[in-house]
Structure 1
Amino acid sequence: MNLFSIFEPSTIIFSLNWMSSLLMILIIPPMYWLIPSRISMMWILMYQLLHKEFKVLIKAPIFKGSTIFFTSLFTFILLNNFLSLFPYIFASSSHLSFTLTLSFPLWLSFMIFGWFKNTTHMFAHLTPQNAPAILLPFLVIIETISSIIRPGTLAIRLTANMIAGHLLVTLMGNSGSSLSISLLTMLVFMQILLLILESAVSIIQSYVFSILSALYSKEVI
């Protein structure tokens, strides 16, 4: 056993670790039996706020309903982040195989759409306005590289933030057996504060992932 064993998928052939990503699908439907329930009203309010945010970012009236995709992406990542905070539940959002599966197809579809539909607009993005002519070759290279690494930065940002918090929680929890009662009480208090911080990080990272995805889609329109 090592420190990173909590992030390692089981080597069993019929492993169900990745099924934790779909657990919320079983939990969410019962709340719709009584509508409007408080839970459903909370989700509706959150979706309305997210819709306003994404609508301002995208600014594309021809793609009506496109905000639904990004709100669904936000919800999916958020639920997986929260599930990974529970004990003995596989942290799927802390793996690059999970985050790259979300970011790479998004980026690839945006690039294909942009270069086929708005080729001139995509070329214009590679050369910033009012840039000196002597710097244009270097700016094109820099802009191209920054565009290529976007799916990687999206995936690594989410993975690194989830891993960092989980490792800190694990390190603090493993030291509890060798502490006195007074220090153990302080450790429990610190763990509670850290879990609150991790809950905030789970929300923020899912919001950042979906917001950046919406911004990337705006550039190709």
Structure 2
Amino acid sequence: MMSNLFSVFDPSSSIFNISLNWLSTFLGLLMMPSLYWLMPSRYHIFWNNIMMNLHKEFKILLSPAGTNGSSFIFVSLFSMILFNNFMGLFPYIFTSTSHLTLTLTLALPLWLSFMLFGWINNTQHMFTHLIPQGTPAILMPFMVCIETISNIIRPGTLAVRLTANMIAGHLLLTLLGNTGNSLTILLTLLIMVQIALLVLESAVAMIQAYVFAVLSTLYSSEVN
């Protein structure tokens, strides 16, 4: 019996009181040996095309002032989040991105490193970001407060956005799945709705990984 509706997302698999749910985050390491094959497969060519397109897009967002190679950080971030989002769609695999433990661990160090780099190396540039161009003098103190607050809550919004979107779809799928026993007549309809929701969740998994990576790239471009 669940203590509350969200307890289905709590880690539960363990051996000797050691939680094994978070090991799902490292399942991608099992696929790494195939990357060293002499002849790449169609899967690798397709994945490399996606990565190269993302790399080009992130380079544009980072602008020429960005550090060379920094776009690969965000490409790797996108790959990790996308993989974990998709792993959560399989039965009996723990969705690590539905917990703030993981999403905040990704968002907070990124944001903190951007802020430290910006305020130490480009202090004047960071101050100019606090007041949008064309702001009347009477509104400047209020704009500084608003911009400061919006800047501080950025890692929280990044983490909560990803977590909430992952939880929402999984929660709906769980609730509909639990009503299957009482809706034997409408079972076919229920299965069709579940499949439609699963397709939607697959799209959300891709979109949220892309949104997280793009917003992190934009936050990085602002400090240069």
Query: TM tier, shorter chain?
Result: over 0.9
Question: What is the alpha-carbon distance in structure 2 between the residues aligned to residue 82 and residue 29 of structure 1?
Answer: 20
Structure 1 runs, 4 residues or longer, greater than 6 Å off: none
2:124 match: 120
Identity of aligned residues (%): 63
Asked if 1:143 is matched to 2:150, the reply is no
CA contact (8 A) 2:13 2:21 kept: no
- Of 22, 28, 40 in structure 2, the residue corresponding to residue 18 of structure 1 is 22
Summarize the Cα distance change of 1:6–1:29 in structure 2 as closer, same or farther, 3 Å threshold. Answer: farther
CA contact (8 A) 2:88 2:94 kept: yes
Asked if 1:165 is matched to 2:198, the reply is no
Q: Deviations over 1:106-149 (max 9, x none)?
A: 00000000000000000000011111101100000000000000
- Of 90, 94, 106 in structure 2, the residue corresponding to residue 90 of structure 1 is 94
TM-score by length of 2: 0.94
Displacement, 1:62? 5.5
Unaligned runs of 5+ in 1: none
Displacement, 1:9? 1.6
Letter in 2 for 1:69: I
Letter in 2 for 1:212: L
Q: How many equivalent residue pairs?
A: 220
CA contact (8 A) 1:71 1:210 kept: yes
Question: What is the alpha-carbon distance in structure 1 between the residues aligned to residue 115 and residue 196 of structure 2?
Answer: 41
CA contact (8 A) 1:9 1:17 kept: yes
Q: Deviations over 1:12-68 (max 9, x none)?
A: 521111111001111343254252211110111001110121011001355222111
- Of 210, 216, 220 in structure 2, the residue corresponding to residue 217 of structure 1 is 220
Summarize the Cα distance change of 1:122–1:163 in structure 2 as closer, same or farther, 3 Å threshold. Answer: same
Question: What is the alpha-carbon distance in structure 1 between the residues aligned to residue 141 and residue 49 of structure 2?
Answer: 47
1:9 match: 11
2:158 match: 154
CA contact (8 A) 1:99 1:159 kept: yes
RMSD: 1.4
Question: What is the alpha-carbon distance in structure 2 between the residues aligned to residue 35 and residue 5 of structure 1?
Answer: 45
